[in-house]
Structure 1
Amino acid sequence: MVEHSVVNQPVHRSGALLDHLARRMRLRAESVLAPLGLRPRHLVTLTVLRQQGGCPQQELSDTLEMDGTNVVGLLNDLEADGLIERRRSPQDRRRHVVVLTEKGGHVLARAECALAAVENDVLGSLDDTQRETLYGLLQQAVNGTQVICTEAADDDSDGAC
């Protein structure tokens, strides 16, 4: 029988706790987004568009890590509700640039207020300093994962990411 070494490994594993917390957050988020006619993927799209001030449709697909066909359906939903517009790119008339409308900005702001209440509910046992620490650690983990995946893709590795 081969023994596995656990030297230098953390005593606690975070994956299950992160998954449990994410499920709580997701369920509550979905319940406050639904009355606004939004789903989490809509919210992410609107947030990206606000941050980038508009985005070519293909670049948006890459940013969202979604298949182009699925992004078209997503954008159709948002456009039907008047939350985004697809405009011809002035640089290349064959391409579309997706922009957040004024209505989209207002709906996004309402969604963010509703989600702040959800976050307060789910993370209510943490004080402000602890929340900032948690945010910083999660951001560090996300950024570290992106770097590792980029490096792995560049190395033609076995797809461990």
Structure 2
Amino acid sequence: MASLPVVNQPVHRSGALLDQLARRVRLRSESVLAPLGLRVRHLIALTVLRDRGGCTQQALATTLEIDGTNIVGLLNDLEAENLIARRRSPEDRRRHVVELTDAGAKRLAKAEFALAAVEDEVFAALSDAQREALYGLLQQALGTGDDGCVAAID
């Protein structure tokens, strides 16, 4: 049986390691987020809204790579806790703009404080510089293009 030639392939593949690391972080994160009434998907949505200043439901769904039906359920959860607010877009009344509320920002800050301990545990073998480098590489891998989540217009 002839083997296929390998051209310009990295020596190591990262996918399986990233998956294992993600599972470790997710399990520990779920345990510290539960007392705050949050799930990991809630945290990610709140973080995007804080960092981007709000956006349309459709743009948020695209950013989070969630279909339209699931984004509505996610936002319903967050709105029921007064963590986000949805309002009609002044430019297009058919669209909803989603923004983080003050209560959402406070809950997110508490969650991030709790998650800092999780990251300290999971990434204990890395120096601060290595952790910063990892963060930058992960951001780069995810891409930082304009996906439509921009500051909402009042």
TM-score bracket relative to the smaller structure: 0.7 to 0.9
Residue 5 of structure 1 corresponds to which residue in structure 2?
5
1:109-148 to 2 correspondences below 5 Å: 109-143=109-143
Match status 1:80 vs 2:80: yes
Cα displacement (A) at 1:129: 1.4
Measured after TM superposition, the shift of residue 22 of structure 1 is 1.0
Structure 2 counterpart of 1:156: none
Alignment-derived partner of residue 149 in structure 1: none
Bigger radius of gyration among the two: 1
After superposition, the Cα gap between the structure-2 partners of 1:95 and 1:3, relative to the gap in structure 1 and judged at 3 Å, is closer
For residues 55-66 of structure 1, the aligned pairs below 5 Å read 55-66=55-66
Structure possessing the higher relative contact order (Cα contacts under 8 Å, 6 or more residues apart): 2
Following superposition, the deviation at residue 133 of structure 1 comes to 2.0
Unaligned runs of 5+ in 2: 146-154
What is the deviation of 1:57?
A: 1.5
Partner of 1:30: 30
Change in 2 beyond 3 A, CA 1:52/1:130: closer
Corresponding position of 2:104: 104
Deviation, structure 1 residue 89: 1.7
Residue 87 of structure 1 aligns to a residue whose secondary structure is strand
2:62 is aligned with what amino acid? D
TM-score normalised to the size of structure 1? Answer: 0.82
Which residue number corresponds to residue 148 of structure 2?
A: none
Output one character per residue of 1:124-155: Cα deviation in whole Å (capped at 9) or x when no partner.
Answer: 011111112222222233239x8xxxxxxxxx
How well do the aligned residues superpose, as a CA RMSD in angstroms? 1.8
Residue segments in structure 1 that go unaligned for 5+ positions in a row = 147-161
CA 1:103/1:92 → structure 2, altered by over 3 Å: closer, same or farther?
A: same
Q: Which residue of 2 aligns with 1:158?
A: none
Cα 1:13/1:96, change in 2 over 3 Å: closer
Number of residue pairs matched? 145
